[in-house]
Amino acid sequence: MQPTYIIRWRGEKPGTHEYKFEVRDELWREYPEGGVLRGRVEVRVEAEVKGEREVRLEVEVEGRVVVECDRCLDECELPTAYKDEVVVPYEEGEVDLKQHIYESIILGLPILRVHEDRAQCNPEMIKRINTD
Ligand SMILES: [Zn+2]
């Protein structure tokens, strides 16, 4: 596992290089505004070194995270999957993908953050909300 979310290409030959790692728990604590409490997400980065001009990185995240259910406020686990591309000038030598990876995980979540099956919602909470 890599120590950080930094991808380095200085000294790499032109061509495609693949990196795989898992998101660490510190990430959720670093971006509390995203609302992710825990999670297990795999990251795959395919870095295409194009001569000495630019590096094209295809960043893919896939996994499951725990967030607060918008309907009953209990914790609920949801899938996330997202893929996009980052282009960085070759001379930078490296890129820190931490924030990009976090944003991808958030973008990959369903729009509604609720238990996938309504029956999984906390019945006590639903009752309380409905009688308010
Ligand atoms: Zn719920």
Ligand 1 centroid vs 99 CA: distance in angstroms? 28
pLDDT of residue 24: 83
Strand runs (DSSP E) across 36-91, as ranges?
38-50, 54-68, 75-89
Q: What is the pLDDT of residue 51?
A: 81
- What is the DSSP-derived secondary structure letter of residue 117? S
Q: How many residues does the chain have?
A: 132
CA of 123 to the centre of ligand 1 (A): 9
How far is the centre of ligand 1, averaged over its atoms, from the C-alpha of 66 (Å)? 12
Supply the pTM of this predicted model.
0.89
Burial environment of residue 13 by CB neighbours within 10 A (0 to 12, 13 to 18, 19 or more) = exposed
Query: How far, in Å, is the centroid of ligand 1 from the Cα of 23?
Result: 25
User: Which pLDDT value is given to residue 132?
Assistant: 62
Alpha carbon of 91 to ligand 1 centroid (Å) = 48
What pLDDT shows up at residue 28? Answer: 93
User: What confidence score (pLDDT) does residue 52 get?
Assistant: 83
User: Which regions of the chain are under pLDDT 50?
Assistant: 1-2
Residue 1 lies in a domain: no
Cα of 131 from ligand 1 centre, angstroms: 17
Residue 42 lies in a domain: yes
Q: How many domains does the chain fold into?
A: 1
CA of 119 to the centre of ligand 1 (A): 8
Give distance in angstroms: CA of 36 to centre of ligand 1: 15
- The answer to whether residues 91 and 9 touch, using CB atoms and an 8 Å cutoff, is no
d(CA 18, CA 46): 5
Range of the domain at 79: 6-131
Kindly state whether residue 94 falls inside one of the protein's structural domains.
yes
Q: How far is the CA of 81 from the centre of ligand 1 (A)?
A: 21
